[in-house]
Structure 1
Amino acid sequence: MITTLSGETFLKMKNDLSFVIDFELNIFEHQSTPSPNIPLRDLYYLAANLKDLVKQETLYGPTLVQIPTPKFYVFYNGTIAMKDEVTYRLSDMFKKKVESPSVELIVTALNINIGHNKDLTEACKALKGYSIFVTKVRKYIKEVEAEYNSSHAISLNLMADNKDIMKTLIATAIEISIDECIQEDILKDFFTDYRKEIIEVGVHEYSFERHM
């Protein structure tokens, strides 16, 4: 059962997926920036999900209400170095540390950049293809920036401050990366079918990443 929340999201794009399988509520997110605050965000997300899944009136009765077991994961593919696996805990955010917190939420962050978590990426064709694609995009962004800088004699700082220029360069890098992935049979059908959407989302994502 898909339980991904609807409504407005950051940058008007979804970077989360929630579903119930075998009585487990699995909540996955994608991040390109390490964030120790993810447990609190997931606590909000969990509460909203359970509110949709459980009828409020049943909570006041004598019968135990059973809920799916929550599990939280983050797929990380940013440029800041990170171990293959990092654990974030809600209790790490508490100002006052206690030995046995009354509330705890644990999130497992998995680095899916090329060279990390090889067993996972080899087992999942989509994750591996996505990681390869992101690596290509970052490579070509640097190359098209350097080429533009060389041909227009404009400083990198001024170029970075011009949003229209940057969006054009990022879109170019994404298009080159998509073409390469199709040629190399990396998620070929996906890139062929959703080329326009991937470019639009990619420009938003990489523009935001640079802004941050």
Structure 2
Amino acid sequence: MGKNKGKRSHTKHVFVQKKYRDALFRRIFNEKSVLLELYNALNQTDYDDADELIFYTIDDVIYLGYKNDVSFIVRGTLNLYEHQSTLNPNMPIRGLIYFGKQYESYIKQNNLNIYGKKLLSLPFPQFVIFYNGVEPLEDNKDYIELHLSDAFICAESNHLTTNAAPRQPVVTTDMPVSDIDVPDSAAQNTSSPISTRPCLECTARVYNINYGHNQELMARCRTLEEYSILIGRISSNVRNGIPLEPAADAAVQECIRNGILKDFLIKHRSEVVGMLLEEFDMDEYIKMERRDSYEDGHEDGLAEGKRLEQLHVVHNLFQKSIPAENCADLLNENTDFVNKIYSLCHAHPDWSDEDIDNALKEK
């Protein structure tokens, strides 16, 4: 690997679209030392030479409708790391096609002879999805696996019989990528009915990186934890009724003040908010807010519900020591309304939203 130090390998264009976005996750982890930190955290290794890591990416394209986040080779492993805010059950299919293209490129670049009598040595594939969407993973777990074989048409529909029960998705709390099932040689050499074992498999290992999940992994990779904190603060701001752009900007400023991704955010601040606006799945939050509003009994009084929601947000911002003028700007709200709430909060710091609302109605 020494002769490849410091280089990037690239495959040819695949399914090219002119417009694509460079995800914030990809931008953060596109630095070798930071990416190696993440690799070590997942695999519980302690490699310290970032120059051993070789980026192995698809050049300037969206692949199958999505630009891959980070792909690289290190210590004989070919790794594809993707960030997802919406869980996609077809990730193993995309992984299969992606790895096929990568191996094709690897074979050509290394002048390997697939028609020779000697068994070739190929880098070991690892496919990891970092998920931070609104909806929880199955059973609110930290980790699940998605399998290509779950997409295959049932063998019974092809008039093949099998007694094998359908496999359920693998769900566990936290499994390192290095925990890979490798069948023993006896099992590999034992014949089995064609209907029970497909000749292809691709496993996508999905980690929930919403703040509070996979805490052991976060403890091993501080950068991943700080990314999770940033996204979590944006989510919290949006839930509190702050429009997306000021919610993102406020979260970025707060993180800089608290030393969260500070150097990165200062360096790329002009780009980061724009990237977050493109990535943030506002539709999911709108659905969630509607669901929460329904559960809270506000569906019959939308105007009243909106007023109470704004009151709650203003109250929260007061508790975070956000000046009244800034609060009004963030919410695009009437200054008088904000000032009245702030005055009551100053006079009665222990009051609840309901107490403040009752006082406003009496005025």
- After TM superposition, the score normalised by the length of structure 1 is 0.81
SS at match of 1:189: helix
Aligned to 2:135: 80
Aligned to 2:92: 39
Aligned to 1:89: 147
SS at match of 1:2: strand
How far apart in 2 are the matches of 1:113 and 1:190? 20
Matches within 5 A, 1:36-115: 36-55=89-108, 58-82=113-137, 83-97=141-155, 98-115=195-212
Work out the number of aligned pairs and report it: 186
How far apart in 1 are the matches of 2:88 and 2:66? 18
Return the offset for 1:15.
4.9
Matched, 1:195 2:292: no
Return the offset for 1:210.
2.9
- The residue type paired with residue 58 of structure 1 is N
Where structure 2 has 5 or more consecutive residues not aligned to the other structure, the ranges are: 1-53, 156-194, 285-363
Contact 2:72 2:78 (8 Å CA) reproduced: yes
Aligned to 1:210: 282
Q: 1:79 and 1:86, CA in 2 relative to 1: closer, same or farther beyond 3 A?
A: same
Return the offset for 1:52.
1.3
- The residue type paired with residue 128 of structure 1 is E
SS at match of 2:130: strand
- Pick the aligned partner of 2:260 from 186, 200, 206: 186
Aligned to 1:24: 77
Return the offset for 1:119.
0.5
SS at match of 1:58: coil
| Pair member with larger Rg | 2
Q: 1:33 and 1:122, CA in 2 relative to 1: closer, same or farther beyond 3 A?
A: same
How far apart in 1 are the matches of 2:98 and 2:223? 25
- The residue type paired with residue 37 of structure 1 is N
Return the offset for 1:21.
1.0
How far apart in 1 are the matches of 2:259 and 2:74? 31
Return the offset for 1:63.
2.8
How far apart in 2 are the matches of 1:210 and 1:181? 21
- The residue type paired with residue 46 of structure 1 is F
SS at match of 1:88: strand
Q: 1:171 and 1:13, CA in 2 relative to 1: closer, same or farther beyond 3 A?
A: farther
Q: 1:103 and 1:196, CA in 2 relative to 1: closer, same or farther beyond 3 A?
A: same
- After TM superposition, the score normalised by the length of structure 2 is 0.49
How far apart in 2 are the matches of 1:140 and 1:36? 29
How far apart in 2 are the matches of 1:22 and 1:192? 33
Return the offset for 1:64.
2.2
Aligned to 2:60: 7
Contact 2:112 2:120 (8 Å CA) reproduced: no
Q: Deviations over 1:77-136 (max 9, x none)?
A: 111012101010000011124421100111110111111110001111111011111111
Identity %: 33
**Quick check: 78-87 or 60-69, which moved more?**
60-69
Where structure 1 has 5 or more consecutive residues not aligned to the other structure, the ranges are: 146-168
How far apart in 1 are the matches of 2:277 and 2:61? 19
- Pick the aligned partner of 2:220 from 102, 109, 123: 123
Aligned to 2:181: none
Q: Deviations over 1:135-185 (max 9, x none)?
A: 11112223354xxxxxxxxxxxxxxxxxxxxxxx32211110000001111
How far apart in 1 are the matches of 2:127 and 2:238? 32
RMSD (Å) for aligned C-alpha atoms: 2.0
Contact 2:58 2:68 (8 Å CA) reproduced: no
